[in-house]
Structure 1
Amino acid sequence: MQLQRLLSITRKAVDEYRMIQEGDHIAVGISGGKDSLTLLYALHGLKRFYPKHFELSAVTVDLGFPDFDLEPVRALCADLQVPYRIVDSDIYHILFDLRRESNPCSLCAKMRKGALNQAVKEMGCNKVAYGHHMDDIIETMLLSLIFEGRFHSFSPKTYLDRMDLTVIRPLMFLGEADIVGFQNKYQLPAAEKKCPVDGYTKRQYAKELVLTLNQEHPGARERMFRAVLSGNIQGWPERFPNTHRKKQPE
């Protein structure tokens, strides 16, 4: 996928859900993976021509996995001239050494987001951008249906009143395959995954389920995504689908 297409699809999400306002300071949550690095490229490129001016920073919560190398990410941020902060934590030690969690994902996410949001506020940012994409939204919807008995997925834009912080997801119209293509074309320095339960989670089950459904019923993936967009999910912001301009950046 070309950078120009990435910027166009990202702007579509930003415009239709009014994710960015004049004077925003947005922190990109960098996990070190392909999704968050693609998001960094997208917002860095958007910043050059978007009519509403905003500042951009980046932050990583280092979970403490052994041999987790963030130096390539640090170098990328320096090259893009994006201020970058790494927050050290003992999350890995707490989850796997002290508590010996067999299903650590929920607690890990809660602890990671807490540390991330605190750092974002300390950096003077009013918004934090996550690298969730279309497939993440579909998988979350399926997990909610199967394990919670409700039709739900995370929102494109969420205001956290206790933190006075807004979460945005500008990659929501991009599929994971698009991001893999962008990663390969631009050789993103994605860090190697270190989590010992990676590939053995409910999220992985949902990913494989979506793949199977789409193979057996071509187009099912896109139909599920449209169902989420039109599902009147509680907490989702209003969508303005005609606000996206088709003019491409120079």
Structure 2
Amino acid sequence: MSATAAPLDPLAPAADAEAEARHSNTFLRLKKKLERSVGEAIGDYGMIGDGDTVMVCISGGKDSYTLLSCLLALRERAPVDFRIVAMNLDQKQPGFPDDVLPGYFESIGVEYRIVTEDTYSIVKDKIPEGKTTCSLCSRLRRGIIYRTAKEIGATRIALGHHRDDILETLFLNMFFGGKIKAMPPKLVSDDGNHVVIRPLAYCTEADITRFARAMDFPIIPCNLCGSQENAQRKQIKAMLQGWARDFPGRIESLATSLKNVVPSHLADSRLFDFAGLTQQTRVEEGDTAFDPIDLPPLPTAQTIQFPSPVRTDA
């Protein structure tokens, strides 16, 4: 194995600026914020336990690099001992720089596995030109990830989806799928053999973007589907970004709502026995349809003097 990967950007001044940025107070606060959020998500959902082997899926994008960085940092001070294995799937996309990730993994001293499977040719052969490739590509990728996790004895598969991804999925499913469904922070695979975790569930994309820029991660674009951004997801992303800009706190409230579901105030009979509801049935929130919110106090009541009517019979 080679010692390190060749830098993607040979400009020394830029590298010096990035190194300086990584030691600034602003960056250190951001790093601490991300690691704290990841630690809280792991604790809240029991994502990682003593003796676990966590396979971290690395695509070469900002999210997965940030995930790996946070997990490595947390492992140093975690009360439990767990193994981390970075995994990348080389899908044989034309021009893919297959030396970058091995070099990066070796430079930070993390155990890794590179899996090479020509899913690119399969997707290009099966999907007509101009159609979205994401669905087939993700199914093929998922099968290879599960197989690799079994081969290395991984007890956890860590994916780099963040809070924005989760909220976007929620609205995509509501608007286009007729379901209230998002990405869970932790789930079991369909075959029951794997536990999938999303430790970035509490992290925002904006913070991850800033962190990745300061860390100068060797980002690898996806030529297969990166330029095919899903139009529906793009619309949802723009909607949420608009809300975040125009209504501060709304996105945070939406994220919190995912942890505060009240089945008796929805309409799914599989989650609440509406047919069997009687006067004796006790529900969590009764007939409160909308939780009270803090509003500014009304002005002190004042007597309004109306002018005397004008007589017209004089």
User: Any idea what SS the aligned residue of 1:65 has?
Assistant: coil
1:76 maps to a residue whose letter is: Y
Counterpart of 2:229?
Answer: 199
Out of 1, 4, 8, the position equivalent to 2:36 is 8
Residues 186-244 of structure 1, C-alpha deviation per residue, up to 9 Å, x if partnerless?
1111112313543344322221221123334333222221122223699xxxxxxxxxx
**TM-score normalised to structure 1 length:** 0.87
The question of 1:113 aligning with 2:142 is answered yes
Coordinate RMSD, CA, aligned: 2.0
User: 2-side partners of 1:23 and 1:161: how far apart?
Assistant: 24
Residues 118-150 of structure 1, C-alpha deviation per residue, up to 9 Å, x if partnerless?
111111111110001000010000001011111
Counterpart of 2:123?
Answer: 95
Unaligned runs of 5+ in 1: 235-250
User: 2-side partners of 1:198 and 1:44: how far apart?
Assistant: 32
* Residues 104 and 41 (structure 1), Cα distance of their counterparts in 2 relative to 1, 3 Å cut: same
User: 1-side partners of 2:220 and 2:151: how far apart?
Assistant: 25
Residues 17-71 of structure 1, C-alpha deviation per residue, up to 9 Å, x if partnerless?
1111110000001111000010010111111110011000011112221111142
Counterpart of 1:214?
Answer: 244
Moved more, 29-38 or 55-64: 55-64
Question: How far 1:160 moved relative to its partner?
Answer: 2.3
User: 2-side partners of 1:201 and 1:112: how far apart?
Assistant: 22
Counterpart of 1:229?
Answer: 259
**TM-score normalised to structure 2 length:** 0.70
1:190 maps to a residue whose letter is: I
Question: How far 1:98 moved relative to its partner?
Answer: 4.1
Report matched runs for 1:1-250 at 5 Å: 1-2=27-28, 3-100=31-128, 102-160=131-189, 162-196=191-225, 197-231=227-261
* Residues 16 and 161 (structure 1), Cα distance of their counterparts in 2 relative to 1, 3 Å cut: same
Counterpart of 1:243?
Answer: none
Percent identity, aligned pairs only, is: 32
User: Max radius of gyration: which structure?
Assistant: 2
The number of residues matched between the two structures is: 234
1:223 maps to a residue whose letter is: S
C-alpha contact (below 8 Å) 1:21/1:54 kept by paired residues: yes
User: 1-side partners of 2:94 and 2:71: how far apart?
Assistant: 30
* Residues 5 and 70 (structure 1), Cα distance of their counterparts in 2 relative to 1, 3 Å cut: farther
User: Any idea what SS the aligned residue of 1:229 has?
Assistant: coil
Unaligned runs of 5+ in 2: 1-26, 269-314
User: Any idea what SS the aligned residue of 2:166 has?
Assistant: helix
Moved more, 103-112 or 158-167: 158-167
User: Any idea what SS the aligned residue of 2:114 has?
Assistant: strand
2:88 maps to a residue whose letter is: T
User: 2-side partners of 1:60 and 1:139: how far apart?
Assistant: 25
Moved more, 100-109 or 211-220: 211-220
User: 2-side partners of 1:70 and 1:186: how far apart?
Assistant: 21
* Residues 141 and 161 (structure 1), Cα distance of their counterparts in 2 relative to 1, 3 Å cut: closer
